[in-house]
């Protein structure tokens, strides 16, 4: 303190100056929030004036009162994904002025969120992701910035995104991924427990998939530090700027850690990337085929950009782009896949009849010796595609427990249109600048108008081929990896990875949730422990993707 006072004194600054500076800063933050608050509330009031149906809205609280009431019986850490499901379920009470369900929901939760638009009818989601692809919301880019400096396929837009999508897609095709199964099995075979191990597994798979066996081995000594750097950055990412995380976001220590983690990524990935770049640019060696490994496709892409003068030839520019792309794959592919594995296992433990059928399919396709599943798949990787019922189980688990979605940016003059037959045929719903347009897949996956017996876990619906059957999934209805040009590039990898885990684990182990012991250890026994829809396992967390509550504590028993 004495040092600080002396330093301030040296600089001619007294305590009064510091207090004044803090006061000015605070006043400008408060003014910003009030000004922005007025703008947001006015956006809603203007819509109301135009006759657009909106939920009861107040100048002071916006929709916060409604949101508070809807979530009042939910645990405080329940994920925000539950909110639009509740709005969809309760639309009649929330829109008493409407005879038909409004196609579009306008939501004002300022200062806790930006003004948002969510489709309440499926065709509206199709309009801004498939018919026309709105560009990603500012928030999606800002969140990735510390990890990738936005030099990644997920943040890119327009022609630059198109070129990279074309370059990287072959490496993620179903065919490529099936051919990589023997290699990836090395990682899955190490996987014997659940909880946070699913995250570690997903991370290992991405490293192996991206770099291939040889380079992955070279990275082995740096991998722990790299994983730690990525995870630490992910932990510190701020997904939604709001008043509640203002201090966290602007904390200088956070900024320092983000900077340090990025340096670790540059220095950890740098040598192997440089070495591979050297190998690929020597005259004797042919250039890589895009499907060899993703790192080769990436380096080849950067080389093309250099030749076209789009990337300068400095090492740091090359490294920045390469590390950015790797960062986005790790980010987009690890937590999402890990929680999807947890939900499939959870649902299987709750539905023994379905589990029996999955095991029977594994016996039939992979042979009755469960311990030999990995070697069978190594020699015949294409068998993974024969696990048709398992695939249906996964898709149904993903419908019931959807985890991430897409957020897009409203565009000046852009409208969403009331679909034919909705009662709002042709009505224009403004989705201009300032709106975040969210796909609302979690709620659409639980829309009883789209899915028969919507709350039940019925994998068979994904086996029905007759489109006239009421159980048949609706067209464009299953959107776990989003649809349209910006859908998930890693979806085949994620599906194959989860299928490999199920094939190797389900017949060797019984897995069931262990809340009783977990709660007892935490003194919750006999008390009302938090749950959602009667389940202790629920989507928790304030950010994206949601996490399975408490990492899903489980019992694992080896089967005889
Ligand atoms: C269960 C696991 C996964 C889920 C639920 C998931 C979901 C999604 C969704 C919904 C999007 C669209 C996001 C948007 O438009 O902003 C997306 C995009 C993306 N995903 Fe995944 N993903 C998963 C696994 C993976 C994996 C394993 C990888 C790669 C290793 C990956 C890489 C990406 C990338 C790079 C994008 C951006 C694509 C683009 O903008 O063109 N994802 N993912």
Q: Looking at ligand 1, which residue's alpha carbon is closest to its atom 13?
A: 406
Does residue 308 lie within any of the structural domains? yes
Residues 28 and 130 in one domain: no
Q: Looking at ligand 1, which residue's alpha carbon is closest to its atom 43?
A: 488
Find, among 289, 312, 285, the residue nearest to 300 by Cα. 289
Amino acid 312: pLDDT: 64
Residues 18 and 138 in one domain: no
Atom of ligand 1 nearest to the CA of 405: 10
Q: Give the model confidence (pLDDT) of 86-128 as tens digits.
A: 999 999 999 999 999 999 999 999 998 899 999 999 999 999 9
Q: Which pTM value belongs to this model?
A: 0.90
How far, in Å, is the centroid of ligand 1 from the Cα of 334? Answer: 10
Domain count of the fold of the chain: 2
Does residue 409 lie within any of the structural domains? no
Does residue 222 lie within any of the structural domains? yes
Does residue 134 lie within any of the structural domains? yes
How far, in Å, is the centroid of ligand 1 from the Cα of 118? Answer: 20
> How far apart are alpha carbons 394 and 462 in whole angstroms?
10
Residues 368 and 497 in one domain: yes
Does residue 70 lie within any of the structural domains? yes
Geometric angle at alpha carbon 440, from 37 and 442, rounded to 5°: 130
CA 473 to chain centre: 23
Residues 75 and 25 in one domain: no
Amino acid 191: pLDDT: 53
Q: H/E element holding 48?
A: helix 15-49
Pairing assessment for the beta strands 116-119 and 436-438 based on DSSP bridges? parallel
How far, in Å, is the centroid of ligand 1 from the Cα of 337? Answer: 10
Residues 173 and 287 in one domain: yes
**514 backbone dihedrals φ, ψ, rounded to 5°:** -125, 50
Residues 159 and 95 in one domain: yes
Q: Is the pLDDT of residue 351 over 50?
A: yes
Question: What angle, rounded to 10 degrees, do the helices at 294-307 and 197-236 form?
Answer: 40
Query: Residue 111, preceding bond cis, omega within 30 degrees?
Result: yes
What does the chain come to in residues?
560
> How far apart are alpha carbons 243 and 109 in whole angstroms?
11
Atom of ligand 1 nearest to the CA of 334: 27
Amino acid 68: pLDDT: 97
Residues 302 and 276 in one domain: yes
Find, among 512, 515, 510, the residue nearest to 356 by Cα. 510
Domain residue limits at 343: 52-404+422-558
Does residue 156 lie within any of the structural domains? yes
Query: Which residue out of 391, 440, 490 has the highest number of ligand 1 atoms within 8 Å of its CB and is therefore the one to mutate?
Result: 490
Spell out the residues 6+ positions from residue 37 whose beta carbon is closer than 8 angstroms to its own: 110, 111
137, 408 contact by CB (below 8 A) = yes
Does residue 44 lie within any of the structural domains? no
- Average pLDDT of the segment spanning 187-198: 59
Tell me the HSE value of 527 on the side-chain side, using a 13 A CA sphere: 9
How far, in Å, is the centroid of ligand 1 from the Cα of 518? Answer: 32
How far, in Å, is the centroid of ligand 1 from the Cα of 319? Answer: 22
How far, in Å, is the centroid of ligand 1 from the Cα of 557? Answer: 33
Q: Is the pLDDT of residue 59 over 70?
A: yes
196 confidence band (pLDDT: 50, 70, 90) = low
Tell me the HSE value of 276 on the side-chain side, using a 13 A CA sphere: 28
Residues 111 and 17 in one domain: no
The DSSP annotation for 438-467 comes to E--HHHHTT-TTTSTTTTS--GGGGG---T
Amino acid 19: pLDDT: 86
H-helix segments, 107-196: 122-126, 138-148, 158-168, 174-188
Mean pLDDT score across all residues of the chain: 89
Atom of ligand 1 nearest to the CA of 154: 40
Q: Is the pLDDT of residue 246 over 50?
A: yes
Q: Looking at ligand 1, which residue's alpha carbon is closest to its atom 4?
A: 336
488 annotated to a ligand binding site? yes
Sign of the torsion angle spanned by Cα atoms 194, 197, 198, 199: positive
Residues 35 and 165 in one domain: no
- CATH number for 324: 1.10.630.10
Atom of ligand 1 nearest to the CA of 485: 41
Composition of the chain by helix, strand, coil, percent to 5: 55, 5, 35
Whole-number percent of the chain with pLDDT over 70: 93
How far, in Å, is the centroid of ligand 1 from the Cα of 154? Answer: 8
Residues 34 and 103 in one domain: no
Q: Looking at ligand 1, which residue's alpha carbon is closest to its atom 27?
A: 333
Tell me the HSE value of 359 on the side-chain side, using a 13 A CA sphere: 19
Q: Looking at ligand 1, which residue's alpha carbon is closest to its atom 19?
A: 488
Residues 339 and 480 in one domain: yes
Query: Which residue out of 162, 333, 484 has the highest number of ligand 1 atoms within 8 Å of its CB and is therefore the one to mutate?
Result: 333
188, 201 contact by CB (below 8 A) = yes
Find, among 149, 151, 142, the residue nearest to 311 by Cα. 151
How far, in Å, is the centroid of ligand 1 from the Cα of 514? Answer: 30
The DSSP annotation for 136-151 comes to BPHHHHHHHHHHHTT-
Does residue 416 lie within any of the structural domains? no
Q: Is the pLDDT of residue 193 over 50?
A: no
Q: Looking at ligand 1, which residue's alpha carbon is closest to its atom 23?
A: 333
The DSSP annotation for 23-39 comes to HHHHHHHHHHHHHHHHH
Identify the residue with better confidence: 58 or 554. 58
Q: H/E element holding 361?
A: helix 352-366
Tell me the HSE value of 417 on the side-chain side, using a 13 A CA sphere: 10
> How far apart are alpha carbons 212 and 295 in whole angstroms?
8
Residues 23 and 123 in one domain: no
How far, in Å, is the centroid of ligand 1 from the Cα of 517? Answer: 35
Atom of ligand 1 nearest to the CA of 340: 1
Q: What is the CB < 6 Å shell around ligand 1?
A: 136, 140, 153-154, 165, 206, 328-329, 332-333, 336-337, 340, 403-406, 480-482, 486, 488-490, 493-494
């Amino acid at each position: 303190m004495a040092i600080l006072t002396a330093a301030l004194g040296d600089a001619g600054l007294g305590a009064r100056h510091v207090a004044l500076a803090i006061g000015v800063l605070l006043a400008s933050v408060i003014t910003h929030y009030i000004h922005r608050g007025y703008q947001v509330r006015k956006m809603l009031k203007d819509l109301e004036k135009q006759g657009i149906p909106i939920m009861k809205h107040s100048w002071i609280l916006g929709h916060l009162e409604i949101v508070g009431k809807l979530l009042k019986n939910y645990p405080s850490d329940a994920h925000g994904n539950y909110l639009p499901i509740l709005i969809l379920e309760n639309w009649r009470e929330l829109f008493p002025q409407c005879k038909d369900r409004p196609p579009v929901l306008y939501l004002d939760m300022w200062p806790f969120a930006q003004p948002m638009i969510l489709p309440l009818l499926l065709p509206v989601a199709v309009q801004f992701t498939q018919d026309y692809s709105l560009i990603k919301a500012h928030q999606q880019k800002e969140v990735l910035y510390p990890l990738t400096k936005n030099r990644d396929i997920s943040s890119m837009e327009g022609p630059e995104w198109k070129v990279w999508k074309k370059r990287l897609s072959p490496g993620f095709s179903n065919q490529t991924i099936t051919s990589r199964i023997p290699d990836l099995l090395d990682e899955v075979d190490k996987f014997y427990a659940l909880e946070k191990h699913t995250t570690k597994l997903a991370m290992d798979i991405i490293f192996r998939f991206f770099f291939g066996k040889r380079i992955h081995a070279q990275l082995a000594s740096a991998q722990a530090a790299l994983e730690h750097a990525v995870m630490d950055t992910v932990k510190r990412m701020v997904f939604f700027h709001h008043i509640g995380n203002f201090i966290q976001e602007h904390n200088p220590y956070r900024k320092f850690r983000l900077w340090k983690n990025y340096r670790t990524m540059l220095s950890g990935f740098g040598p192997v990337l440089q070495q591979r770049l050297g190998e690929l640019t020597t005259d004797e060696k042919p250039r890589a085929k895009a499907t060899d490994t993703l790192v080769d496709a990436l380096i080849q892409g950067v080389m093309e950009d250099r030749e076209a003068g789009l990337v300068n030839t400095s090492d740091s520019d090359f490294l920045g782009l390469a590390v950015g792309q790797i960062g986005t794959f790790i980010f987009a592919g690890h937590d999402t896949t890990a929680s999807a594995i947890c939900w499939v296992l959870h649902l299987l433990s709750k539905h023994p009849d379905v589990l029996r059928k999955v095991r029977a399919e594994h016996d039939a396709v992979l042979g009755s010796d469960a311990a030999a599943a990995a070697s069978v798949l190594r020699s015949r990787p294409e068998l993974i595609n024969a696990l048709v019922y398992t695939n249906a189980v996964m898709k149904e688990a993903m419908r019931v427990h959807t985890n991430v979605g897409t957020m897009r940016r409203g565009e000046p003059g852009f409208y969403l249109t009331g679909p034919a037959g909705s009662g709002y045929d042709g009505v224009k719903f403004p989705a201009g600048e300032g709106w975040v347009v969210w796909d609302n897949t979690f709620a659409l996956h639980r829309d009883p108008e789209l899915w028969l017996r919507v709350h039940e876990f019925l994998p068979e619906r994904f086996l029905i081929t007759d489109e006239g059957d009421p159980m048949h999934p609706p067209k464009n209805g299953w959107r776990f990896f989003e649809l349209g040009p910006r859908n998930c590039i890693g979806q085949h990898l994620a599906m194959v990875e989860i299928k490999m885990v199920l094939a190797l684990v389900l017949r060797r182990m019984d897995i069931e949730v262990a809340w009783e012991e977990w709660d007892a250890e935490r003194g919750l026994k006999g008390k009302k422990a938090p749950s959602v829809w009667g389940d202790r396992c629920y989507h928790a967390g304030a950010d994206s993707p949601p996490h399975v509550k408490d990492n899903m504590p489980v019992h694992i028993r080896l089967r005889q």
